Structure 1
Amino acid sequence: MKTYIGRDYREMSLRAAELIIQHIKQKPDSLVCFAAGNTPIGTFSCLVEALRNGEVNFDRCRFISLDEWVGLNGKDEGSCRQTMDLHFFGPCGIKEENVHFFNGTSDNLEEECKKMDELIGSHGKIDLLLLGVGMNGHLGFNEPQVSFDLYSHVIDLDSVTKQVSSKYFQEEKDLQRGITLGIKHVLQAGNVIVVVDGEKKAEIMRQALHHEVTNEVPVTVLQRHPNVHFCLDEAAAAFI
Structure 2
Amino acid sequence: MKVEIHSGPNPANTAAADALAKRLSEPTPRTLVAAGGNTPLKLYELIAQRSPALGHLHVFALDEYVGVPPEDLRTCANLLRRTVVEAWRIPSTQFYTVKSLEADAKTSIEAHERRIAALGGLDVIVLGLGQNGHLGFNEPGSAPDSPGRIVELEPGSTAANRAWFNGDYSPSRGATIGLKTILSAKSVFILAYGSNKAGAVAKMIDGPRCTACPASWLQNHPNVAVYLDEAAAAQLARR
The TM-score normalised by the length of structure 2 is 0.93
Q: Which portions of structure 1, spanning 4 or more consecutive aligned residues, are displaced by more than 3 angstroms?
A: none
How many angstroms does 1:132 deviate by?
A: 0.4
Q: Which moved more, 1:98-107 or 1:208-217?
A: 98-107
| Aligned ranges 1:36-75 → 2 under 5 Å | 36-51=36-51, 56-75=52-71
Q: Following the alignment from structure 1 to structure 2, what is the Cα–Cα distance between the partners of residues 37 and 29?
A: 23
Q: Distance in 2 between matches of 1:170 and 1:77?
A: 13
| Contact 1:133/1:194 (<8 A) preserved | yes
Deviation at 1:137, TM superposition (A): 0.6
Question: Is residue 187 from structure 1 mapped to residue 183 from structure 2 by the alignment?
Answer: yes
Aligned to 1:208: 204
1:18 deviation in Å? 1.3
Report the 3-state secondary structure (helix = DSSP H, G, I; strand = E; otherwise coil) of the residue aligned with 2:18: helix
Matching residue's letter, 1:172? D
- Give the fraction of aligned pairs with identical amino acids, expressed as a percent: 26
Matched, 1:20 2:20: yes
Q: Which of the numbers 213, 220, 223 marks the counterpart of 1:217?
A: 213
Taking the aligned partners of 1:128 and 1:239, their CA distance within structure 2 comes to: 28
For 2:121, the equivalent position in structure 1 comes to: 125
Distance 2:207 2:64 in 1: 28
User: What is the count of residue pairs matched by the alignment?
Assistant: 236
Cα gap change, 1:144 to 1:29, in 2 (>3 Å): closer
Q: What is the match of residue 80 of structure 2?
A: 84
Distance 1:127 1:74, change over 3 A: farther
Q: 1:213 aligns to what SS in structure 2?
A: coil
Equivalence for 2:91:
95
How far is 1:83 from its partner? 1.8
Determine whether 1:11 maps to 2:11: yes
Structure 1 equivalent of residue 157 of structure 2: 161
Q: TM-score, normalised by structure 1?
A: 0.93
Query: Is the contact made by 1:3 and 1:229 (CA closer than 8 Å) also made in structure 2?
Result: yes
Shift of 1:106: 5.5
